[in-house]
Structure 1
Amino acid sequence: MERERTPRKIIEKGIRHHLGGLSLSNTVILLDYLGVDWSRVAVYNRIQKADIQPADGDNPDRVAVDQKAIRFNDEQYWLYAAVDPQTNRILPSGLFPTYTISIAREFLTELAEKHDIENAVFLVDVADDLIGGLRREGYSYRVEQHGFRNAVEHVFREVERRNHLFSNCFSHVDPPTAET
């Protein structure tokens, strides 16, 4: 029995569409339309095997930022995260022992090193430390509770879920390992 190989152009098209923002499920539908019967797992594995990532240095026009208290081994830390709400792509995040304006500035500096955010409008909730950091760094921001800022809230819900599972299984792990 001879194995039927998927044409390279169709594989490349599926990978390009997924990296362009198409979900795994929708990529499967696209490939099915092109005559390829792959599961979501098969698409995911093929993308991982290709080892292609979107180009860094993106310049999003909006960035949703927030911080959230999380617990490891009965100690509280603050997770700062940024998300491009148009692509739901997670930009840099960081785990800090407390939250202050200077820590928010440190987080924003790291973000600026990796992405062109000079002209971006930052979407924040009423987090005083982030607002203070954005003001001191000279960035534009808008206080927004819903809408595009929901992207970062989805990320935090998933992080909380994974953190809960992680802490149940690996309660002995130190914070640097947990951050990784």
Structure 2
Amino acid sequence: MSEFDRLNDGIAWIDLSFVERDRTPLCAIEVGIRCHLAGMSLCEVSKFLEEYGIDRSHVAIHNWVHKADRQPISTVSVDQLAVDETMIRLHGQQFWLYGAVDPYTNEIFHVSLYPTATKQTARWFLTELHRRYQLDDVKFLVDDVDYLGPVLAEDGCRFQIIQHGNRNAIERVFWEIE
């Protein structure tokens, strides 16, 4: 798939009815959304718009994309994903952070935060991951956790239980977050 093929679906008009204030010209909002859909990062879009005198943060641009209900189409093709979960504390409460990382590039594919770690939360995370990316031929690298392996097996996904090696990519990401 060429870089431009993913732009074909985004040619249609973007519904900007969510805009409540006239702080940013509608054409700039649409250009910002389209730039992000074309593959620019939110920070790159922010800098691009600055060149035309429109000073908006990457958070504002993220909100535009989210409110317009548009997300970039993934063109990622990997054969392995390191998947894991870890407990983190936020404001004195425990939460479980699930994540998926490309073990070769350390690119974070998806993260989600849940109040518990159960088979159901593992399934929710994996469902979100599959909805976002085409992962038909991916082998998931997991440790010997109670939930991820059994859920992947029940769903018929390919996975490998591994303690070190390529799966360390997700551990490095979690270490940075913690």
Whichever residue aligns with residue 131 of structure 1, its letter is G
Alignment size in residue pairs: 114
The aligned residue for residue 135 of structure 2 is 117
Kindly report the root-mean-square deviation, in angstroms, between the aligned alpha carbons of the 2 structures: 2.0
Q: Deviations over 1:99-121 (max 9, x none)?
A: 11111111001000111111100
Shift of 1:90: 0.1
SS in 1 for 2:76: coil
1:98 aligns with 2:116: yes
1:85 aligns with 2:83: no
Equivalent in 89, 105, 108 of residue 126 of structure 2: 108
Where do residues 36-115 of structure 1 align in structure 2 (5 Å cutoff)? 49-50=47-48, 56-115=74-133
Where do residues 1-180 of structure 1 align in structure 2 (5 Å cutoff)? 49-50=47-48, 56-160=74-178
Structure number with the higher helix fraction is: 1
Shift of 1:47: 8.4
Q: What is the alpha-carbon distance in structure 1 between the residues aligned to residue 131 and residue 174 of structure 2?
A: 23
CA contact (8 A) 1:59 1:115 kept: no
Shift of 1:46: 6.5
Q: Deviations over 1:11-70 (max 9, x none)?
A: xxxxxxxxxxxxxxxxxxxxxxxxxxxxxxxxxx7786359xx96242310000000000
Q: What is the alpha-carbon distance in structure 2 between the residues aligned to residue 86 and residue 117 of structure 1?
A: 16
CA contact (8 A) 1:60 1:116 kept: no
| Aligned sequence identity (%) | 43
| TM-score, reference length from structure 2 | 0.59
Shift of 1:135: 1.2
Q: What is the alpha-carbon distance in structure 2 between the residues aligned to residue 82 and residue 135 of structure 1?
A: 17
Shift of 1:152: 0.4
| TM-score, reference length from structure 1 | 0.58
Distance 1:60 1:50, change over 3 A: farther
Instruction: Give 5+ residue unaligned stretches, structure 2.
Output: 1-42, 50-71
The aligned residue for residue 19 of structure 1 is none
